[in-house]
C-alpha cells in the first residue's frame, strides 16, 4: 500500500506543471428537467470538440446514466471505497469517447470519509484531474446539506431549468441557497425543453434578472435546448441523442452550448495548476466535520394546531435544530419573534388576523429573521410564493397538495435542509433585497 501511495505521489509531482481538469456540477432544483440527458450529451459534445471528459453520476440511488447508455458498469464508486479498487478501475468507457463513473447509492460515502479513505481519494482523484480536461458531476435533484458541501467544492456550476414557473423558481431558490454560502462560484444557465427560441430567451432572461435584482448575482446564459421528440426516442433506444441523431435540433443545440462553454473557459484551464476541488474537499469534508456548534432555534407559525404539532415533530427529528416556540397567526408571530429571537421562522401563508405575506413584510421591517415559507402548490399559492420570495423570504417548501397530513413526511428532509440553509443566511442582505 505504502509503495503504491509513494508511486502515485511521484507520478503526481511529475504532472504538477500540467493543467488540471475543470470540475463542473450539473444541478437543478427539481428532478425530471433533463439533467442526466444534458450531462451525458454535453460531455459527448465536449469530447467531440477534442476535450477529455469524465462524467460522474452522482444521483444517489437514482443514478441513471447507465440506463441512458444501456450499459451497466460492473463497478461503482462503492467499490472504490469498500473494495479498495482504484478509481481508474471503476471508470467505464462510455459512448462518444467519454469516461463514466457510476455512483449508485455509494455516493453517500463521499460525504463521510475517514482519514484513510480521504487520503486515498485525494491521491487518486488528483490523477484524474491531471488526466482530463473536464470532470462533470450529474447531481441528484434538489440540494441537501451534503450535496451542498459538494457543490462548494467544484469549480463551476451549470444549472438546468425548464420554462415552467415552478422549475424556474426551484432553480432560483437553489442558486440563492448556493449564493448564501459561496458568492464566488461561476454559474451557467441552461433552459431545457423550450417550445421556441423566444421561450428559451425569455426564461433565461427572467432568471438572470431575478438573480441580479435580488442577489446581485451574474449568471452566464449558455443557451437553450428545444423540446424534441428525439430525446425520448433516444432514451428508449438507450443511446445519447447526440449520437442517435446528430442532425436533430436538440443535438445542434447541445453542440452550440458546448462551443459557448468551451470558448468561455478557454485559456483559464491552461493556467490552473492547483485544483481548488481537492483543497475544497479537504476543507468541507475533512477539516470541518461538525460545523454546527449551536442548535438552530426555530419558530413555527401556522394557524392549524395539527400542522404546528406535525412540523414541531419533524424538526425535532433533526438534532441540529430545536423548536423554541409556535405562533398561530402573523401578529402572534411578530410578538414571538421579538420575544424569542429565533434563527429561523417557518411561516404559513393563509392565516386569519394577519396572513403570511403581510407578516413577512412586517418581519423584514421590524425584526429581520430568516423565513422559510410553507406554501401551497395551487396557482394562487405559487403566485404568493413568488411575491414572498421577492419580499425577502429565504426559501419556500411546497406543502404537498391533497390530503393535508399523509403526504407531509415527504417534505421532512427538504424542511430540515432549508431550515439549516436559512439559518446561515445573511438576513440583512435578504432585507436589502426587497
Ligand atoms: N429536450 C427534451 N425534449 C424532450 N424530452 C426531454 C428533453 N429533455 C429531457 N426530456 C425527457 O425528460 C425525461 C427526464 O430527463 P432526465 O435527463 O432523466 O432528467 P433528470 O436527470 O433531470 O431527472 C426523460 O425521459 C426525457 O425523455
Ligand atoms: Mg437524472
Answer yes or no: are the C-beta atoms of 405 and 381 closer than 8 Å: no
Minimum mean pLDDT among 27-31, 189-193, 218-222: which range? Answer: 27-31
Phi, psi of 255 (to 5 degrees): -65, -40
Q: Report how far ligand 2's centroid is from the alpha carbon of 27 (Å).
A: 9
Tens digits of residue pLDDT in 149-158: 788 889 999 9
How far, in Å, are 26, 31, 221 from residue 199 at the CA level?
Answer: 22, 21, 14
Residue 139's nearest CA partner among 153, 120, 118 is: 153
For a ligand 1 pocket test, name from 27, 31, 37 the mutation site with the most ligand atoms within 8 angstroms of its C-beta.
37
Minimum mean pLDDT among 133-137, 160-164, 178-182: which range? Answer: 178-182
Please tell me the predicted confidence (pLDDT) of residue 198: 95
Extract the runs of DSSP E, i.e. beta strands, from 282-338: 296-301, 321-327
Confidence band of 17 (pLDDT split at 50, 70, 90): very low
Please tell me the predicted confidence (pLDDT) of residue 191: 97
Tell which atom from ligand 1 comes closest to the C-alpha of 192.
1
Residue with cell 421579538: 338
Q: Whose CA is nearest to atom 8 of ligand 1?
A: 34
Burial class (CB in 10 A: 0-12, 13-18, 19+), 6: exposed
**Is residue 62 predicted with pLDDT exceeding 80?**
no
Residues 84-113, mean pLDDT to the nearest whole number = 79
Please tell me the predicted confidence (pLDDT) of residue 250: 98
Ligand nearest to the CA of 30: 1
Please tell me the predicted confidence (pLDDT) of residue 430: 42
Q: Report how far ligand 2's centroid is from the alpha carbon of 63 (Å).
A: 7
Task: Please report, rounded to a whole number, the percentage of residues in the chain having pLDDT higher than 70.
Answer: 82
Task: Please report, rounded to a whole number, the percentage of residues in the chain having pLDDT higher than 90.
Answer: 39
Which of 143 and 403 is assigned the larger pLDDT?
Answer: 143
Answer yes or no: are the C-beta atoms of 163 and 200 closer than 8 Å: yes
Tens digits of residue pLDDT in 274-329: 567 888 887 777 665 444 446 889 999 999 888 899 899 999 888 889 999 999 99
Tell which atom from ligand 1 comes closest to the C-alpha of 37.
17
Answer yes or no: are the C-beta atoms of 63 and 53 closer than 8 Å: no
Tell which atom from ligand 1 comes closest to the C-alpha of 227.
3
Please tell me the predicted confidence (pLDDT) of residue 325: 93
Answer yes or no: are the C-beta atoms of 240 and 96 closer than 8 Å: yes
**Is residue 197 predicted with pLDDT exceeding 90?**
yes
**Is residue 109 predicted with pLDDT exceeding 70?**
no
Q: In the structure, which protein residues have their CB atom closer than 6 angstroms to any atom of ligand 1?
A: 28, 31-37, 64, 192-193, 225, 227-228, 231-232, 235, 250
Three cell numbers written together for 413: 428532509
Residues 54-64, mean pLDDT to the nearest whole number = 76
Tell which atom from ligand 1 comes closest to the C-alpha of 193.
1
Tell which atom from ligand 1 comes closest to the C-alpha of 68.
18
**Is residue 111 predicted with pLDDT exceeding 80?**
no
What's the 3-state SS for 331-362?
HHHHHHHHHHCCCEEEEECCCCCCCHHHHHHH
Confidence band of 75 (pLDDT split at 50, 70, 90): confident
Q: Report how far ligand 1's centroid is from the alpha carbon of 35 (Å).
A: 7
Confidence band of 107 (pLDDT split at 50, 70, 90): low
Average pLDDT, the chain: 83
Tens digits of residue pLDDT in 222-274: 999 999 999 999 999 999 999 999 999 999 999 999 999 988 754 444 334 45
**Is residue 354 predicted with pLDDT exceeding 80?**
yes
Tens digits of residue pLDDT in 22-32: 999 999 887 88
Q: Ramachandran region of residue 215, left (φ > 0), alpha (ψ -120 to 50) or beta?
A: alpha
Q: Report how far ligand 1's centroid is from the alpha carbon of 37 (Å).
A: 6
Q: Report how far ligand 1's centroid is from the alpha carbon of 195 (Å).
A: 14
Bridge-based pairing state of the strands 22-27 and 156-161: parallel
Confidence band of 400 (pLDDT split at 50, 70, 90): low
Q: What is the pTM of this model?
A: 0.71
Confidence band of 116 (pLDDT split at 50, 70, 90): confident
Please tell me the predicted confidence (pLDDT) of residue 324: 92
Please tell me the predicted confidence (pLDDT) of residue 267: 41
Answer yes or no: are the C-beta atoms of 370 and 429 closer than 8 Å: no
Which of 184 and 425 is assigned the larger pLDDT?
Answer: 184
Answer yes or no: are the C-beta atoms of 160 and 26 closer than 8 Å: yes
Three cell numbers written together for 240: 445519447
Q: Whose CA is nearest to atom 26 of ligand 1?
A: 232
Q: Report how far ligand 2's centroid is from the alpha carbon of 25 (Å).
A: 13
Please tell me the predicted confidence (pLDDT) of residue 401: 60
Which of 208 and 427 is assigned the larger pLDDT?
Answer: 208
Domains and CATH numbers, the chain: 2-287 (3.40.50.300), 296-433 (3.40.50.2300)
Please tell me the predicted confidence (pLDDT) of residue 105: 58
Residues 159-164, mean pLDDT to the nearest whole number = 94
Amino acid at each position: 500500500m505504502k509503495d503504491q501511495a509513494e508511486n502515485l505521489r511521484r507520478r503526481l509531482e511529475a504532472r504538477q506543471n500540467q493543467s488540471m481538469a475543470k470540475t463542473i456540477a450539473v444541478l437543478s432544483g427539481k428532478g425530471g428537467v433533463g439533467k442526466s440527458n444534458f450531462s451525458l450529451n454535453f460531455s459527448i459534445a465536449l469530447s467531440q470538440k477534442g476535450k477529455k471528459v469524465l462524467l460522474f453520476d452522482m444521483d444517489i440511488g437514482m443514478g441513471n446514466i447507465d440506463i441512458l447508455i444501456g450499459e451497466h458498469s460492473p463497478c461503482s464508486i462503492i467499490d472504490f471505497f469498500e473494495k479498495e479498487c482504484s478509481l481508474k478501475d471503476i471508470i467505464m468507457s462510455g459512448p462518444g469517447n467519454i469516461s463514466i463513473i457510476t455512483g449508485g447509492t455509494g455516493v453517500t460515502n463521499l460525504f463521510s470519509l475517514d482519514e484513510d479513505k480521504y487520503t486515498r481519494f485525494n491521491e487518486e482523484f488528483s490523477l484524474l484531474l491531471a488526466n482530463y480536461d473536464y470532470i462533470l458531476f450529474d447531481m441528484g435533484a434538489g440540494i441537501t446539506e451534503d450535496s451542498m458541501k459538494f457543490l462548494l467544492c467544484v469549480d463551476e456550476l451549470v444549472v438546468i431549468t425548464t420554462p415552467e414557473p415552478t422549475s424556474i423558481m426551484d432553480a432560483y431558490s437553489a442558486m440563492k441557497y448556493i449564493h448564501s454560502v459561496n458568492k464566488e462560484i461561476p454559474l451557467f444557465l441552461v433552459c431545457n425543453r423550450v417550445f421556441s427560441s423566444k421561450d428559451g430567451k425569455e426564461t433565461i432572461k427572467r432568471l438572470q434578472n431575478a438573480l441580479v435584482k435580488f442577489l446581485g448575482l451574474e449568471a452566464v446564459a449558455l443557451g437553450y435546448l428545444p423540446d424534441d421528440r428525439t430525446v425520448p426516442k433516444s432514451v428508449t433506444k438507450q443511446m445519447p441523442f447526440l449520437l442517435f441523431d446528430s442532425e436533430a435540433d436538440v443535438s445542434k443545440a447541445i453542440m452550440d452550448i458546448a462551443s459557448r462553454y468551451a470558448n468561455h473557459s478557454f485559456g483559464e484551464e491552461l493556467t490552473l495548476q492547483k485544483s481548488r476541488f481537492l483543497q475544497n474537499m479537504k476543507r468541507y469534508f475533512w477539516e470541518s466535520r461538525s460545523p454546527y456548534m449551536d442548535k438552530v432555534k426555530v419558530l413555527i407559525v401556522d394557524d392549524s394546531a395539527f400542522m404546528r404539532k406535525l412540523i414541531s415533530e419533524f424538526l425535532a427529528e433533526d438534532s441540529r435544530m430545536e423548536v423554541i416556540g409556535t405562533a398561530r397567526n402573523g401578529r402572534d408571530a411578530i410578538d414571538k419573534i421579538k420575544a424569542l429571537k429565533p434563527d429561523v421562522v417557518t411561516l404559513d401563508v393563509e392565516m386569519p388576523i394577519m396572513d403570511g405575506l403581510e407578516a413577512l413584510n412586517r418581519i423584514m421591517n421590524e425584526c429581520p429573521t430568516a423565513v422559510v415559507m410553507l406554501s401551497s402548490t395551487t396557482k394562487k399559492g405559487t403566485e404568493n410564493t413568488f411575491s414572498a420570495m421577492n419580499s425577502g423570504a429565504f426559501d419556500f417548501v411546497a406543502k404537498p397538495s391533497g390530503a393535508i397530513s399523509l403526504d407531509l413526511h415527504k417534505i421532512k428532509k427538504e424542511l430540515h435542509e432549508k431550515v439549516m440553509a436559512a439559518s446561515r443566511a445573511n438576513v440583512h442582505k435578504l432585507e436589502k433585497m426587497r
